[in-house]
Amino acid sequence: MRRKLIAGNWKMNGLRASATHLVQGLLEGLAGAEPPCELLVCPPACLLETVGGLIAGTPVALGGQDCHGAEAGAHTGDISAAMLKDAGCAYVILGHSERRSDHGEADDLVRAKAGAALAAGLTPIVCVGETAAQRDGGRTLAVVEEQLAGSLPEPGPGQALVIAYEPVWAIGSGRTPSNEEVGEVHAAVRRWLEARLGGEAAAAVRILYGGSMKPGNAAELLAVPDVDGGLIGGASLKAEDFLAIARACA
């Protein structure tokens, strides 16, 4: 039985004061109770220490939004997986469509980053998803499978992995695929994982849906078979909305 994961991708938002306010709101909303899912926040790198300090000892986990594929060295401006781990992270988002478009990240780079994350003891959250043109062209499953094949590291024993299916056209747009469309892609990802990893290992991988998930649509999206949680952008910046989505897992 996979425990659902609700992950907040804060993107390039927040300063120490607003981040503190947001996390305090989350913790007050939880009021010491165990949430009905695993909760994760992924703030910008410079806020990891502030946020990590506030959530230490709570059910909320910490994650990064990207890491470099190399262990260390001359990579000005970059952050290694070991640095994220050292800052208290358990997860790192990799290959988000905004990284793929803003920074030209291709599948092989995402694969190197995912390998580095695993080596450092982090669980990579590898993002895949089609553009509007690819969906209109009937290529959604082909695109997603190609991204999986190119972006995932070689399988290894005991490897912890999360996949996030995020249709590019649904991110920040207020539009979402139908429940049937989401179910079709998630089932295809699960079948692909089964072929690659074997049934048991594939069954342990959580497949998140991301793209305009909100309190109003979370319950139905989270009820779709093989949707094991959500990767939440905009709605993760309001404690009330993020908690409402978490409660929709119950």
Per CB under 6 A, residues contacting ligand PGA are: 9, 166, 171-172, 210-213, 231-235
Q: Tell me how far CA of residue 169 lies from CA of 65, 132, 173, 202, 210, in angstroms.
A: 20, 5, 7, 27, 11
Evaluate whether 90 touches 61 at the Cβ level (below 8 Å): yes
**Least spacing, CB of residue 243 vs ligand PGA, in Å:** 15
Q: Is 200 a catalytic residue?
A: no
**Least spacing, CB of residue 241 vs ligand PGA, in Å:** 10
**Least spacing, CB of residue 229 vs ligand PGA, in Å:** 12
> Would you mind telling me the total number of residues written for the chain in this entry?
250
Work out the burial of residue 27: count CB atoms within 10 Å of its CB; fewer than 13 is exposed, 13-18 middle, 19 or more buried: middle
Q: Is 103 a catalytic residue?
A: no
| Total Cβ atoms within 10 A of residue 127 | 27
| Total Cβ atoms within 10 A of residue 142 | 13
H-helix or E-strand spanning residue 233:
none
* Residue 70 or 179 having the CB closest to ligand PGA: 179
Catalytic residue among 96, 98, 130, 186: 96
* Residue 19 or 171 having the CB closest to ligand PGA: 171
**Least spacing, CB of residue 103 vs ligand PGA, in Å:** 15
From 39, 42, 33, 36, select the one nearest 79 (Cα to Cα). Answer: 42
**Least spacing, CB of residue 114 vs ligand PGA, in Å:** 17
Instruction: Spell 44-74 as b/e; 16+ CB within 10 A means b.
Output: bbebbebbbebbeeeebbbbbbbbbbeeeee
* Residue 85 or 96 having the CB closest to ligand PGA: 96
Catalytic residue among 38, 105, 130, 166: 166
H-helix or E-strand spanning residue 98:
helix 97-102
Secondary structure of residue 205 in the 3-state scheme: coil
Q: Which residues does the annotation mark as catalytic?
A: 96, 166
